[in-house]
Structure 1
Amino acid sequence: MDSKQPEGQQGQGLTVAATPLSDALRLTASLPPKGACWYCDKPLDAVRRFCCKSCGEAYAEETQYDR
């Protein structure tokens, strides 16, 4: 018995999961740190852009709809 999955199923799963992640990373990298969360304006250090993962995801989702 072969334990490999068919290439069609394996390729589809990677493509779907990688696209939103790369868009979110590209968006985060393009925003300069400003000392506050880009979504909720909670004070932050001079390195971070979002206070938590949910704020980063919400910001990315909003920018998708603004385009």
Structure 2
Amino acid sequence: MIAALLASVSLSATAAQTIRFATEASYPPFESIDANNKIVGFDVDLANALCKEIDATCTFSNQASTA
């Protein structure tokens, strides 16, 4: 997930943007669903920190794996 962020976003972005992440949130502590049905975990925290640094908004969606 983090590699995708770094590959798709320039750290010198000047305009505010939204970065959408799709993940299978069933791998705690990296990502999981909390009691409020929100995706949480290390990867989410790291992505949010990176988005804050580049003045972007992160959104997350849970996608089931078919593999």
- TM-score, length of structure 2 as denominator length: 0.27
Larger relative contact order (C-alpha < 8 A, sep ≥ 6)? 2
User: Which protein is bigger by CA-based radius of gyration?
Assistant: 1
TM-score (structure 1 length as normaliser): 0.27
Q: Higher strand share goes to which structure? A: 2
Instruction: From the two aligned structures, give the one with the greater helix fraction.
Output: 1
